[in-house]
Structure 1
Amino acid sequence: MSKQGYVDKRCSSCFAGARRKQIWESQLNTKMSKTALVFLAPGAEEMELVISIDVLRRGGFDVSVAGICDASPIVKCSRGVSVKPDILLSDAKGPYDILVLPGGLGGAQSMARCKAVGEMLKQQENESRWIAAICAAPTVLKAHGVGLGKSLTSYPSMKDQLKDDYKYQEDKVVVDGKLITSRGPGTAYDFALTIIDKLIGKEKASEVANAMLLTY
């Protein structure tokens, strides 16, 4: 106690208890951060790739970007933008709350050929965890036999490849169970915000959108 009779709050048991609770809640929130693995393949559509990564990180996701089977250390995307993955797919340590597949025709074709991508997608589906695919990437789901019979959407030119095996829709974003799909570069923000909405909550998605001067 000081000469004025002041008690330092740091010595107060109530203050100490509140501080312990604050630390505990912070640690709990860190442990509970949602995890996302974003596949990076040669020919990926860079807007869909980077917007998804950026928006999910703004939403508090722990995002890892994995170069797939035939990816080089620096991956060239569909418009010539080069991106360095965080890890190789072989080094990915799941499980992840969500697997995210950006589009781009070349990227989708690479993911469709990659056995390891198919194995991860099938395990994700079997264990009732989330999968998200945009633009041409829903064709990767078909190639690996994932989500058959569900409602989905894609880039318009992919419709004929998907309509016989899925309930094809033309909304900007389609959610069916734990499958999220979207149409293309212009819907990438809606796609990523929907992921935040479904895995964390609408309030968080709106908060992230507002900070980017978007409406969700």
Structure 2
Amino acid sequence: MVTIWIPSLIYCFILLSEIQFCNCEEEEEEEEEVLYPCNKTVLIYAPDELEEIEYVTVIDILRRAKINITEAGEFMNFENIITEQGINLIPDISLKELYKFKPNTIPFDGMVVPGGKGIAYVLDSDLAMKTIEKHLKKNKIVALIGEAPRVLSLAHLAHGKKVTCHSSIISNMIKNYKFTGETTTVDDNLITSQSPATAMEFALTIVEKLRDRKSANIIAKEIGYKYKSVIK
């Protein structure tokens, strides 16, 4: 009997050793991080011929961050704007109507101006320039991307600040500003960024300034973007 059972026991031992036992307790699922609505408000300026990636990316990311945004257009012909690549977009309100019907919302906690050929319309709009200046003076966040930082130079605003911008306007910025050459630069309430390629970093930086770094990281993780803060 001994000679019969020993081989059987050895076989059972080998068999059992190859079985991977699962934990009887269910593994706890990683708790989903949730962003709750906040009371921060942002004005996103939308002139004709804006750069659409810079514009839409900011809207998308700020909405994910539960930040209240208002798209204010500068309409030339119709009640919509036509982007650089010919896409029709419909902002929430015109900048003129915003001042007329919702003056108490100005200044917002932040103002964003996308780049593109639409910067020419910004410079031609006394109302737009007044709005940018008001946000700067009230120490609210002003975020400019691509060619948009050029408005600072031409309006003689924020002299001495650290900035970055699109390569096509560097010559406009190096005289009165500390040009960094970074993809995105933050100097107090002023955020500047280079181009459509840096729009995601730019948008998440706005989120970090208005909410916190954790919020920016939650969104970055959600969309699969490797976000590295540029805020020092």
Q: TM-score range by the shorter chain?
A: 0.7 to 0.9
- 1:64 matched to 2:70? The reply is yes
Matches of 2:77 and 2:121 in 1, distance apart?
A: 9
Aligned residue number for residue 209 of structure 2: 198
Q: Which runs of 4+ in 1 moved over 4 A?
A: none
Contact 1:132–1:181 (CA<8 Å) still a contact in 2?
yes
Q: Look at both structures and tell me which one has the larger radius of gyration over its CA atoms.
A: 2
Question: What is the CA deviation profile of residues 49-69 of structure 1, one whole-angstrom value per residue up to 9, with x for unaligned ones?
Answer: 000111111111101111126
Aligned residue number for residue 151 of structure 2: 140
Of 41, 45, 48, which residue of structure 2 is paired with 1:35? 41
Question: What is the CA deviation profile of residues 164-213 of structure 1, one whole-angstrom value per residue up to 9, with x for unaligned ones?
Answer: 12111111100001000000000000000000011100000000111111
Matches of 2:197 and 2:186 in 1, distance apart?
A: 18
Of 114, 123, 132, which residue of structure 2 is paired with 1:121? 132
Aligned residue number for residue 99 of structure 1: 111
CA deviation after TM superposition for structure 1 residue 127, in Å? 1.0
Matches of 2:188 and 2:58 in 1, distance apart?
A: 20
TM-score, normalised via structure 2 length:
0.77
* Structure 1: gaps (5+ residues): 1-28
Contact 1:39–1:67 (CA<8 Å) still a contact in 2?
yes
Aligned residue number for residue 86 of structure 1: 92
Of 168, 173, 176, which residue of structure 1 is paired with 2:179? 168
Read off the aligned partner of 1:80 and give its amino acid letter. Answer: G
Paired residue total: 186
Read off the aligned partner of 1:135 and give its amino acid letter. Answer: G
TM-score, normalised via structure 1 length:
0.82
Partner SS, residue 44 of structure 1: coil
Matches of 2:204 and 2:165 in 1, distance apart?
A: 17
Aligned residue number for residue 11 of structure 1: none
Change (3 A) 1:167 1:71: farther
Give the share of equivalent positions with the same residue, in percent: 31
Contact 1:109–1:140 (CA<8 Å) still a contact in 2?
no
Matches of 1:40 and 1:71 in 2, distance apart?
A: 14
